[in-house]
Structure 1
Amino acid sequence: MTSEEKQPRTRGLSTWTTRRWLRVGAAVSLVVLALLGTAGGWVLSRTQALSTDLVDVRSPALTTAIRLESAILNQETGIRGYGLTGTPEFIAPYEQGLTEQRASAADLAGLLRGDRAALADLEAVQDRVARWQEMIARPVAATPPGTPSPLAAARAADGKAAFDAVRVALSGQQERLRADLDRARDDLTATIALRNWVFSAIAVLIVVLTAFVFEGLRRGINQPLEQLGTDARTIAGGDFDHPITPTGPADLRHLSGEIDFMRRRLVRELAFSEEARLRLDAQAADLQRSNAELEQFAYVASHDLQEPLRKVSSFTQLLQRRYGGQLDARADQYIDFAVDGANRMQTLINDLLDFSRVGRLHNAHEEVDLDEVLERTLSSLSVGIEESGALVTHEPLPSLVADPTQMGMLWQNLIGNAVKFRRPDQAPEIHVTAAREGDLWRFTVTDNGIGIAPEYADKVFVIFQRLHTKDTYSGSGIGLAMCKKIVEFHGGTIAVDTTYRDGARITFTLAPRPPENPGPSTLPEASRSGPEQA
């Protein structure tokens, strides 16, 4: 076969999958084992048949032939003694020999069924014995006892010749039976040797087949899987440029190709992720720097605005006190607008200063008992609480490692908002709870006030975002933004529970310990997309 003829078959075998190799290997193994089993069965059957023939036929046949010969010899001895002496005692061996002859002949005929040559020898023996009996034995036996038989002397030569013919026939029969017995023994010996060779060959072939199976599994499955595992461990160790070597059957090569494709895609994704991370780090650094600059700007701007604003506020108040009522009504209104605007600006600047100080000036973490902080907050808000008739209750609060000033600002803004945004016809009821959730504490501040519409649940945490006019509810709109900044600085989150409809419920989480790298203080940009509020 040429190499061009071998090449297509090689390509065909290269497309075989593990399942196909296993099926073909199992089929070939079963065929080989079936052939070996058939050969072994035939050898065993042959051995059994030869052994049965030797034990049950050939050996008994020779023994029976010898008994037949002994019975005929007894007849000849008895007839010869009776013919020479006329003594009746010699008739007994003759008659016993006749009985044994018939029994032995019948047994021998039964043993030699199907063996025409042996049956022919038996028939020849019986014919010659019958001729001798007819010529010598029966006539001599019929002679009266007491005197020698004259017929025995007269036919002595013919009797000897007839019985010699019997001897020849018996000898031929026994020689054939001995030859058959020897041949059966030789066949049995040869068959036993063949059986031993066959079963030895079966054992060797089973060992060889088992070795081939194990070697095939090792090379076709174990070795490719070990190579794949080695490559995978190399890649998992960080060498993502290490290629996957496809080996083994088609399906394992396909699996290796898929894993290598995944590796190449992972390399691309890692490269892209690394590039994105670098860009993100740069952006984070820029954002952190920008936030720091923005906070510094807010602090400096608000601090520097304090002095001119105090002058404007002082002189507008002085103008109001000195010239109030001396000018026309329009002038008094303008003066009132100026005084009110200066006061509002003063409040906004102070709130902005407080907002910028969170995480920058107030950053002294220590063990804080929130129960005590809340009690101090309620004491500072006692005037507003008494005027509104508010009822503030709380569950036992935990102790945390936090900044005590920021915790006070957090409770003051949350409780103050709950008191301020109350229903006109109902006294405020405020309840504070705390529950452990994994590594965090979750707190809730629930009131029965006017509530927060779900569409404004995110906007209320934006700095300077107001949902009502200053005439309806006072304030600068910085309270919840301050709470958000404080909570996030302590590693938590804050949100409005939009499922609560009987007022407002603010939920926030705090960590028992401060985060290792608290997020940079940020100054959220004021959103003007929401309603200025009515």
Structure 2
Amino acid sequence: MTLRMERGIRVPMRNTDGSALSRRVWQTALVFVAFVVSFAVYVYGEKQIDRANEQRQTSFRLADQLRQSSDDLTRMVRTYVTIGDPLFKKSYQDVLDIRDGRRIRPENYDSFYWHLTPSRPESVGPQGGRAIPLLELMRKAGFTDEEFLRLSQAKSLSDALTAREFEAMRLMEEAGPEDGQARLAAIRMLFDDEYRRAKTGIMKPISEFNELVEVRTLAAVHRAEDIAFVLRLVFVAFAAAVGALLWLTYAEARSILGGTVQEVHERITRIGQGDFSVTGTPASKGADSVLAGLDSMAERLGAMQAERIRATAELKDKNEALERSNADLEQFAYVASHDLQTPLRNVVSYTQLIERRYRGRLDSDADEFIGFIVDNTKKMTLLIHDLLDYSRASRQTEPPEPCSAGAAVEQALDNLRQDMETGHVEVRVGALPDVEAVPSHLVSLFQNLLGNSIKYRAPDRAAWISVSAEPAENGYWRFAVADNGIGIEPQYHEKVFEIFQRLNPSAETEGTGIGLTLCRRIVHRFGGAIWVESEREGGTTIFFTLRGA
């Protein structure tokens, strides 16, 4: 027995029974082929009996035609010589012509009565077609040399007798109406002992032929019958073997399946419909049967389904708790950032007031400390402002709407006008499409990206920024904000999108490390993606995708 894995379910399969069933099926198929062949051979054997009987009948019919033609010639010539009716002479000649192949054989020749021809001339039969001599028909019949010799002798003797019969007709025709002696002599030529001996001589080889044909054809019929009987037994044996093998195949298949095919089909259908309940016991189905394996698989699937339902419910509870926690955190960040602004402004105001009133009146250390307080409170103000923007982006409930990316870039550039003039930055903006977004968020996205390019420009070369867009897959547009600034090393391409992450915290450029995190939140909210391509000192390109309007 082996175990086959079905999506984590171990299902027992019996290799030995499967191979045995396969062999049984092949055996049944081969025996069935032999059965069909034996049936065909048996039918052929039965046909051989029919052919043997047909040849037997044909042989006797041809011999009888020779005998009958001799009798018909005698009857026609005797009648003609006795009564002088020329129609009987014509019939005599017709018999000779048909036998010698000079005239077509009538269709009903085997049941033809020539002595009725004068009163029924239409019974002669058709006149078209090809005439065939009787001897040629005999050659085609497949007679042995000895049999054909007998018929040839009878035909030769009959042909020889026709000379006497023609002589008798000549005497009768030359005799006058008053010459009774000549007519009587003609009649005697057809009734004397010599004529009878000639007729007997004709019948003797025909009788011998019949005896020879009887022995040969009867032996052929018996031989064909014996062969057919043996073939019949072989056919019956193969039929019984096919029946037995079919029963054994059915029994083995049922043993492997553990039930009927209908039961297996119903069980698979129930499993497919999600019914994993188990019916019966493995013993009643066979511990290694397909049905037992299906029940085992159903039991495991049922357990997995119950576990999945439990895990799904647990995951749902945790997701809901996480969503509540995230909502609470966002609310806390918003409230904290908002509420911190007022006391922080007071700190900045009073610190600046102290700086103005007491600068120079205290020692140099005090002036330096006051400067530190002012700078850091300004930084903290900027950080709180960025946190509020990030919180607003997270809490935003406005649905996306069609808006112009070009207009958003213009607004962002207008907001950054002073920084651009200070840094002498050239900005190149290509044709930009309309996209699905919130206008204020789209402006914030471009303003953060453009602001980063301005802040991190290279001091040793004239700065420029390029904004472009091209169609992407599934109705999206791929935007690119490129610059020739200081660049970002590859190992930091993902890190720059994390909150509060700055690659050079001690740099002179202002920033809180929230800008790119905010950009990613905005792009993801609208169903897009954002990534960076850059190298140190090689400039930076930020790519992102948004759905077209």
Per the normalisation by structure 1, the TM-score is 0.62
- The residue number in structure 1 matching 2:47 is 44
CA contact (8 A) 1:493 1:509 kept: yes
Q: Give the drift of 1:387.
A: 1.5
Q: Distance in 1 between matches of 2:438 and 2:483?
A: 26
Helix, strand or coil: the match of 1:444?
strand
Is 1:29 aligned with 2:64?
Answer: no
Q: Give the drift of 1:318.
A: 0.8
Tell which deviates more after alignment, 28-37 or 278-287: 28-37
Alignment counterpart, residue 459 of structure 1, candidates 492, 495, 499: 495
* Equivalent residue letter for 2:418: V
- The residue number in structure 2 matching 1:378 is 413
The percent of aligned pairs where both chains have the same amino acid is 31
CA contact (8 A) 1:496 1:507 kept: yes
Q: Give the drift of 1:51.
A: 3.9
Helix, strand or coil: the match of 1:495?
strand
Q: 1:445 to 1:172 in 2, by over 3 A?
A: same
- The residue number in structure 2 matching 1:322 is 357
Q: Distance in 2 between matches of 1:241 and 1:312?
A: 72
- The residue number in structure 2 matching 1:387 is 422
- The residue number in structure 1 matching 2:435 is 400
Q: Distance in 2 between matches of 1:416 and 1:422?
A: 10
* Equivalent residue letter for 1:44: K
Q: Distance in 2 between matches of 1:406 and 1:323?
A: 44
Helix, strand or coil: the match of 1:331?
helix
Q: Distance in 1 between matches of 2:399 and 2:514?
A: 23
- The residue number in structure 1 matching 2:332 is 297
Q: Distance in 2 between matches of 1:20 and 1:13?
A: 11
Matched residues, number: 423
Q: 1:455 to 1:25 in 2, by over 3 A?
A: same
CA RMSD of aligned residues (A): 5.6
Q: 1:60 to 1:310 in 2, by over 3 A?
A: same
CA contact (8 A) 1:47 1:191 kept: no
Helix, strand or coil: the match of 1:433?
strand
- The residue number in structure 2 matching 1:333 is 368
Q: Distance in 1 between matches of 2:548 and 2:369?
A: 53
Q: Distance in 2 between matches of 1:393 and 1:258?
A: 70
Q: Distance in 2 between matches of 1:431 and 1:109?
A: 112
Is 1:486 aligned with 2:522?
Answer: yes
Q: Distance in 2 between matches of 1:452 and 1:13?
A: 65
Is 1:416 aligned with 2:451?
Answer: yes
CA contact (8 A) 1:391 1:428 kept: yes
- The residue number in structure 2 matching 1:477 is 513
Q: 1:393 to 1:44 in 2, by over 3 A?
A: same
- What do residues 167-218 of structure 1 show as CA deviations (whole Å, max 9, x unaligned)? 9999998777667777888889999999999999999999999999999999
> Structure 1 regions of 5+ residues with no counterpart?
1-10, 72-106, 123-159, 514-534
Tell which deviates more after alignment, 411-420 or 434-443: 434-443
CA contact (8 A) 1:406 1:486 kept: yes
Q: 1:365 to 1:30 in 2, by over 3 A?
A: closer
- The residue number in structure 1 matching 2:384 is 349
* Equivalent residue letter for 1:38: V
CA contact (8 A) 1:369 1:400 kept: yes
- What do residues 307-343 of structure 1 show as CA deviations (whole Å, max 9, x unaligned)? 2222221111111111111222111111111111211
- The residue number in structure 1 matching 2:275 is 239
Matches within 5 A, 1:156-195: none
* Equivalent residue letter for 1:283: K
Q: Distance in 2 between matches of 1:262 and 1:454?
A: 50
> Structure 2 regions of 5+ residues with no counterpart?
1-13, 75-138, 155-192
Q: Distance in 2 between matches of 1:17 and 1:65?
A: 70
- What do residues 96-155 of structure 1 show as CA deviations (whole Å, max 9, x unaligned)? xxxxxxxxxxx999534999xx9xxx9xxxxxxxxxxxxxxxxxxxxxxxxxxxxxxxxx
- The residue number in structure 2 matching 1:101 is none
Q: Distance in 2 between matches of 1:109 and 1:313?
A: 140
Helix, strand or coil: the match of 1:438?
helix
* Equivalent residue letter for 1:340: D
* Equivalent residue letter for 2:43: G
- The residue number in structure 1 matching 2:532 is 496
Q: Distance in 2 between matches of 1:245 and 1:194?
A: 57
Q: 1:380 to 1:244 in 2, by over 3 A?
A: farther
CA contact (8 A) 1:436 1:442 kept: yes
Q: Distance in 2 between matches of 1:166 and 1:427?
A: 144
CA contact (8 A) 2:337 2:387 kept: yes
CA contact (8 A) 1:298 1:352 kept: yes
Q: 1:270 to 1:36 in 2, by over 3 A?
A: same
CA contact (8 A) 2:38 2:234 kept: no
* Equivalent residue letter for 2:45: W
CA contact (8 A) 1:58 1:177 kept: no
Is 1:506 aligned with 2:542?
Answer: yes
- What do residues 253-310 of structure 1 show as CA deviations (whole Å, max 9, x unaligned)? 75x7777666555545444433332232222212111111111111222222222222
Q: Give the drift of 1:449.
A: 0.9
Q: 1:322 to 1:12 in 2, by over 3 A?
A: closer
